[in-house]
A and B are shown apart, each in its own frame.
Chain A
Amino acid sequence: MNGNDSSRQAPEVEASVDYAAAPAGSPIVIDLQDVVKVYDLGGSQVQALKGVTFKVRAGEFVAIMGHSGSGKSTMLNLIGCLDRPTSGRYLLDNIDVSRMSRGALADIRNRKIGFIFQNFNLLQRTSVWENVELPMLYAEIDKHERAARVRHALEVVKIPHKAKMHPNQLSGGEQQRVAIARSLVNKPAIILADEPTGNLDSSTSGEIMEFLQTLNREQRITLVMVTHETDIAAYAERVTVFKDGLILREYRNESS
């Protein structure tokens, strides 16, 4: 897969990547080195990532952009330890996780990573409170601590009064707040968001982005977000653009 593959001829693109754009002095938490991801569909193979090197420093807010099918979600899933690279290395907090077992990856997701999805992915017929509590059940956190953290997380996302409701009784924006609360309760170092505003109208999108930005700035949570809307990407400090499974270019947003 590596090396002399003719489809990987974009050296000038990779050279333009500016890792130094990250906050000076912060350690690198996400370190993907020459990562390839191939999906095997019973005979035909899809090369979703063709050798990507990508680093994120602690406390950064990075947006990933690109056309549909360019490999953004694949990338985010690898970062989130939901999947393992076909080849290449992935160091998370300086630990190589690219060959870890499914169980070990689950523990890493549980303790270090919070996920936010486009379609919220809340458990249906399960109350808001229970949804937010869920990651802590797998972390074996005791009851009183769980209750305190759920209460706090719901206050942070400003929906403490919806605790008893079920997801289908909430608006899209409220559901995404619940998802954010759920991603926060295990105090993750990294939050990964795949098109978090994709199902929301523009004003609700703005509110959700304000939240995420505040989390990043005040709690120094590293944030990697996939989006294909430029104005959403504008909330990030750095933007990485994908094309056909490779990084096309990277740039910093001056305003942030």
Chain B
Amino acid sequence: MSFRHVWIIFKMSLRALARNKVRSFLTMLGIIIGVGAVIAMVSLGQGAQRQVQEEIASMGTNILYVRAGSMRSYGVHTGSGSLNTLTPDDIEAILRECPSVQLATPNASSMAQVVYGNQNWSTRVEGFNEKFPEIRNWPVDKGEFFTETHVKTAARVVVLGKTVADKLFPSGDAIGQMIRIRNLPFRVLGVLSRKGENSWGRDQDDTAIVPYSTIMKKLLGGINYIQQAMISARSPRATYTAEVQVKSLLRQRHRLGSFQEDDFSVRNMGDIAETYEATNRTMTILLGSIAAVSLIVGGIGIMNIMLVAVSERTREIGVRMAIGARPGHVRIQFLTESIVLCILGGLLGISLGVIASYAIANFLMWPTLISSWSIMVSVIFSISIGLFFGYYPAHKAASLDPINALRYE
């Protein structure tokens, strides 16, 4: 069969489909929705993944978190009663004795009510030292951050996150005002720049930063241990060395024998990124496979309609055979019809998917990312579905006996 012939048969198929426009469209609907769903779902997963990556990159890949308590798997504390193992002195020692560590800050936090005049707001009050803006790469927008002296004297000063500043001071300027946290007066030194939501939906600007010494003494009842510390290595490449140094120093300082578990845990951003990426990947695969199932259902719909078409057009097939169509011609014609349906459905589905993911991004404010491979995979998938589900009906048409086909009523 020459190329020109395939082209002629292709046009015959188009004509046959055009004769039944509504039915052709309804047949395609399964594929349209299937492909659209795959593209939208995958774009959702990809968007979330990219957001996590970007966020982690913006936080710096050289950041380490040290937490009190051992951790067997992420997020699950195990060594009970051992949460008071990490002290500000440990952090001082890390800064002094670990050459790959550049900056470090203790971190303790507590939920608290913050009040100004008749405005009040419940937020997370977090304690850091004066290195916070540098480590988190998060500068103040107005006013200034607290200093080493504030930390040493456990001064009652606060730097507000944008959201808290907006809630407490809807119209006026916050700098220099006295607010109350757990009924203690704090002076507002500055307001942080806007950071927005993180990828798991928490508003990062809903926070108030105070010296860690202040939170330990004034808000947490005079404890002398901290929950966690944030450490930055001298460079992203030094992160691993820094991690090793921090671990061995802490084991030494906490006098842990060689068979004892760590009573602290150190995590780097890579670990955290991996956790989120793994979750994301699972979600993407899950959503993608649900969508793929709908694609297969669409394919079965095509097979169903093509089978109906074959029996409806039995007489036509007989006529074509009588005037010289070979079984191969008939097979190709019906196969082409189902492939054309699938490709057309696939293209419409891609448009639908792209529109849907823009709609998700604009109305639901969820990040989406349309990748060219998901489009390519959809197209290849549609063609395969057309071939796979179109083959049986086409084969059935081709195996018809011309005489029986001509006698068919």
Contacts and interface: CB of A to CB of B under 8 A. Distances in A.
Given A110-B324, A121-B319, A140 B406 contact: no
Given A121-B315, A137-B8, A138-B329, A83 B323 contact: no
B397 to A, nearest CB: 13
A117 interface: yes
A135 B322 CA distance: 9
Contacts of A106: 321, 324-327, 329
A82 interface: yes
B403 interface: yes
A107 B324 contact: yes
Interface residues of B, number: 25
Given A125-B19, A140-B4, A134 B320 contact: yes
Given A125-B19, A137-B12, A140-B5, A82 B322 contact: yes
A221 B403 CA distance: 24
A139 interface: yes
Nearest to A186: B324
B326 A123 contact: no
A71 to B, nearest CB: 13
Interface in A106-155: 106-107, 109-111, 115, 117, 121-126, 134-135, 137-140
B252 interface: no
B315 A139 contact: no
B326 to A, nearest CB: 4
Nearest to B12: A137
A102 interface: yes
Contact of B316 (A80, A83, A117, A123): A123
A123 B317 CA distance: 9
B326 A134 contact: no
B182 to A, nearest CB: 82
Contact of A83 (B8, B329, B403): B403
Most B CB within 10 A of own CB, among A122, A126, A186: A126
Contacts of A77: 403
A109 B322 contact: yes
A102 B318 CA distance: 13
Contact of A139 (B4, B324, B328): B324
A72 interface: no
A102 B322 CA distance: 11
A103 B328 CA distance: 8
B69 interface: no
Contacts of B319: 121-123
Nearest to B399: A102
B402 interface: yes
A111 B324 contact: yes
B324 A138 contact: yes
A125 B316 CA distance: 11
Contact of A110 (B19, B315, B323, B402): B323
Given A103-B327, A125-B19, 10 more contacts: A77-B403, A82-B322, A83-B403, A121-B315, A121-B322, A126-B15, A135-B323, A137-B12, A140-B5, A186-B324
Q: Which 3 A-B pairs have the closest CB atoms?
A: A110-B324, A106-B326, A138-B324
